[in-house]
């Protein structure tokens, strides 16, 4: 079966029709090439896109489960699901065997909380900068520290976001 030709057509459509980022396309190319290689080597019978079922997909996921982090496996499953959604949309498969394929649960790590000493040293370092800069840096640090705001949120703040009447 010409898995790679169909995958290349899919990747081209992601780029041209959906304006998908180059990094996503590169990751999907690697993930789907690995999937196609698995189909060619692990499954000796002659298969087509329409004859693939959830068992084939689950077997592939099981074959890589111990080799990769859960986040990588989740991305590989996302690539397969997106491919099959496209195949179904194009009418190349009547059923989507990836619909019931569930990605592994990715455990989110709690952010590390700075110690009191680390916070003190951070404020101290900000105070050593030349006058206007040190005032700005200390104000930003105080805002982030006292509100729990994310750095990205603080950086995105504009003067119009401040309610001087409150």
Query: For residue range 24-52, what is the model confidence (pLDDT) as tens digits?
Result: 999 999 999 999 999 888 776 778 898 89
Nearest to 79 by CA among 64, 94, 91: 64
What is the reported pLDDT for 73?
A: 94
On the 0-12 / 13-18 / 19+ scale of CB atoms within 10 A, 64 is middle
pLDDT computed for residue 106 by the predictor: 77
Low-confidence stretches of the chain (pLDDT < 50) are: none
Look at residue 46 in the predicted model and tell me its pLDDT: 79
Interacting residues of 20 by C-beta distance below 8 A, sequence separation 6+: 14
Which CATH number does 3-89 carry? Answer: 1.10.150.130
- The residues of the chain that CATH labels 1.10.150.130 are 3-89
Q: What is the predicted pLDDT for the residue at 153?
A: 92
Q: Is the model's pTM score more than 0.85?
A: no
The whole-angstrom separation of Cα 54 and Cα 57 is 5
Residues 85-116: b if buried by 16+ CB within 10 A, e if exposed? ebbbeeeebeebbbeebebeeeeeeeeeeeee
Average pLDDT, the chain: 90
CA pair distance 83, 11, nearest whole angstrom? 9
Cα distances (angstroms) measured from residue 98 to each of 21, 65, 95, 145: 23, 17, 9, 44
Distance CA 17, CA 6 (A): 16
- pLDDT score for 164: 87
Q: How far apart, in Å, are the Cα atoms of 35 and each of 8, 40, 75, 110?
A: 13, 9, 12, 33
Inter-residue contact 96 to 88 (CB < 8 Å): yes
């Amino acid at each position: 079966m010409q898995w790679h030709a169909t995958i290349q057509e899919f990747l081209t459509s992601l780029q041209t029709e959906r304006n998908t980022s180059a990094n996503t396309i590169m990751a999907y190319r690697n993930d789907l090439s690995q999937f196609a290689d698995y189909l060619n080597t692990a499954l000796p019978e002659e298969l087509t896109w329409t004859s693939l079922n959830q068992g084939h997909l689950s077997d592939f996921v099981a074959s890589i489960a111990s080799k990769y982090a859960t986040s990588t496996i989740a991305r590989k499953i996302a690539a397969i699901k997106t491919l099959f959604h496209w195949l179904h949309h194009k009418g190349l498969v009547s059923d989507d065997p990836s619909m019931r394929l569930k990605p592994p649960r990715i455990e989110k790590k709690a952010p590390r909380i700075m110690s009191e000493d680390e916070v003190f040293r951070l404020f101290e370092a900000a105070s050593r900068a030349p006058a206007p800069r040190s005032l700005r840096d200390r104000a930003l640090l105080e805002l982030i520290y006292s509100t729990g705001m994310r750095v990205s949120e603080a950086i995105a703040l504009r003067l119009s976001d401040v309610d001087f009447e409150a």
